[in-house]
Amino acid sequence: MAPRIVNLLSKDRYFAVLIVTLSFCIGITGIVLNGMQFSPDSTGFHNYAVNLVAGRGYTSDLSSEPQTKLNREPGYPVFLGVVYRVYANLGEISYIQQGDYDLEEKRLLSNYPEIWAVKYFQALLMALGVLLFYKSLLPFFAPRTCKLSALILSIFYPYQVFSSFLLRESLIAFFTILLGYLLCRYYSTRKGIFMLGAAAVLALGSLTWQAYMAFTPLVPIMLWFASKDFAKLIKYSALSGIVYIVLIFPWLWFSYSKAADIKIVKSMGTTYTHELMNYVAAMDKAVFHKLITAKEKRELEDEWYYDLSSKEVVENSFTGIYTRKADSLNAELKRRGKSELKYLMVSSSQRLANMFFQTHWYPHSLPKGIGSLLRSYRNEGFIYTLFGLGMVSISLFIALFSLTGLGLMPAGKQLALLPFWGFLVFFYPIGSVSRRFMPVIPWMILLSVFAVTRMFQRCLQPKLTQNNQKEVQS
């Protein structure tokens, strides 16, 4: 019986059904276990989407005369809006009012069937992503490595659980896997249509998370290393650039028409501008060096960002107000002799750890480290604590062996890791929150599988050679 099952799973179509089914089931498990848990950011995404469906414009404002708010990229709200629009044919969709959400406990107090519909759809999207990931590896790795990586990914709870969160990471994860798949398909076929598709995915990713703009160089990198043809590099880079611009242009025009300042295109049409980011970064340094408290930082963010209109934030960004405030904080830190290098080293190590060590498998994450998890049995119970320690242990194992795999991976196979390299190169600007790195978990699992199998082969090879020599001598 067992050999027959193994034989069936060796066939691609049966294995594809297996990993999609497992992935979807683990995703549903996460949805059920997390229940009514809900991130504060999710309330904004939800209300943006409901306003879009209701024809009230691009805003999370619930007032009778809503004002356009550009503090969110449009990709995820539009995605939610599409799902909600379909669901509206079956039932009613409604706003999350202030009394419907417990900010302290981070949970919904009322049931929203449309939100459950999105979560189930995200679980399906994540399952399809696992299949695409498996297909993208086949041109580069042995079938056994591809299958083992995809199988582990399909049951890896810290990855699949993101389908239970109304956050853009699940959509970004799908886009990242789709990007990797299209880049690998171009490598194996040299067909330009796959590179144009990759440019389209990069545009959709940028409209969902502005940091995705940083990954646009992956297209010319793959073009060059796949063919070493300069003419093809120029041709498809230009065509890909056109596809990218055509797809992002409508949103940039809309945001420009609302902000009345062309410089807003630098931040993908959102009010989270580079000037504001620099001010927030200066506040982070001030908190680290105890110039201000974390509470004071939150109050400053409310005063100078969250409580302002989009137009006011744009004006503060491009008239130099945020820059002057950031310079003032940095100057005070310098006057007090605070070390810039110390902050940079500590924050860099923390952000790199965020990439390789995933802890955001539960809505509250693990903000106080392993110690808080060990003490959690008092409130959460022994089973939760045991499960949490298991997730942490597995994540640590994958983190360590993925670093090993990165060192052992031959140069010719590194092209399969392009999305991973994109996140690794830009780990510092995007790494303030652990969940930002969730989309690279598939490649970390691949690297750890590659490392373990390679080390196993190296350990086994001398014994096989010795046995062969004995057979020859006999």
Place of tokens 């005063």: 303
- Give CB contacts under 8 A, 24+ apart, made by 12-18: 15/134, 15/147, 15/150, 16/131, 16/134, 18/151, 18/154
Q: What is the pTM of this model?
A: 0.91
Q: Is the pLDDT of residue 375 over 90?
A: no
Neighbour count for residue 378 (Cβ, 10 Å): 8
- If we measure between CA atoms, which residue out of 77, 44, 259, 269 comes closest to residue 168? 77
Residues shown for the chain: 474
Q: Is the pLDDT of residue 61 over 60?
A: yes
CA dist., res. 342 & res. 279, Å (int) = 19
pLDDT of res. 373: 60
Confidence of residue 95 (pLDDT cuts 50, 70, 90): very high
Token reading at 472: 């020859």
Lowest mean pLDDT among 48-52, 78-82, 135-139, 263-267: 263-267
Side chain identity at 352, as an amino acid letter? L
Token reading at 398: 């994958």
Token reading at 207: 């409209």
pLDDT of res. 399: 87
CA dist., res. 109 & res. 99, Å (int) = 8
- If we measure between CA atoms, which residue out of 162, 248, 252 comes closest to residue 433? 162
Query: 3-class SS at 139?
Result: coil
Over residues 183-203, mean pLDDT? 95
Neighbour count for residue 384 (Cβ, 10 Å): 15
Q: Which sign, positive or negative, has the C-alpha torsion 254, 71, 423, 175?
A: negative
CA dist., res. 456 & res. 454, Å (int) = 5
Q: Are 194 and 102 in contact (CB under 8 A)?
A: no
Task: Write the pLDDT tens digit of every residue in 222-242.
Answer: 999 988 889 989 999 999 999
pLDDT of res. 472: 46
pLDDT of res. 3: 53
Token reading at 187: 């490598």
Confidence of residue 315 (pLDDT cuts 50, 70, 90): very high
- Give CB contacts under 8 A, 24+ apart, made by 195-200: 195/219, 195/222, 195/223, 195/236, 195/239, 195/240, 196/236, 196/239, 196/240, 196/243, 198/222, 198/240, 199/239, 199/240, 199/241, 199/243, 199/244, 200/243, 200/244, 200/247
CA dist., res. 376 & res. 48, Å (int) = 35
Q: Is the pLDDT of residue 447 over 90?
A: yes
Task: Write the pLDDT tens digit of every residue in 388-399.
Answer: 778 778 888 898
Over residues 22-28, mean pLDDT? 96
Token reading at 448: 């750890």
Q: Are 140 and 147 in contact (CB under 8 A)?
A: no
Contacts for 68 with CB less than 8 Å, ≥ 6 apart = 57, 58, 59, 258, 310
Neighbour count for residue 5 (Cβ, 10 Å): 10
Q: Is the pLDDT of residue 381 over 70?
A: no
Lowest mean pLDDT among 6-10, 437-441, 450-454: 6-10
Output the CA–CA distances (angstroms, integers) from residue 396 to 94, 95, 271, 353, in the order listed.
41, 39, 36, 10
Burial (Cβ within 10 Å: 0-12, 13-18, ≥19) of residue 247: middle
The angle subtended at Cα 175 by Cα 367 and Cα 136, nearest 5°, is: 110
Place of tokens 């992503």: 129
Task: Write the pLDDT tens digit of every residue in 321-373.
Answer: 999 999 999 999 999 998 888 999 999 988 888 888 776 666 555 445 555 56
Number of helices (H), then strands (E), in the chain: 22, 2
Q: Are 82 and 61 in contact (CB under 8 A)?
A: no
Over residues 140-149, mean pLDDT? 94
Query: What does the domain layout of the chain look like in residue ranges?
Result: 168-268, 274-335
Q: Is the pLDDT of residue 5 over 80?
A: no
pLDDT of res. 317: 93
Query: 3-class SS at 354?
Result: helix
Q: Are 154 and 441 in contact (CB under 8 A)?
A: no
Task: Write the pLDDT tens digit of every residue in 40-55.
Answer: 889 999 999 999 999 9
Q: Is the pLDDT of residue 382 over 90?
A: no
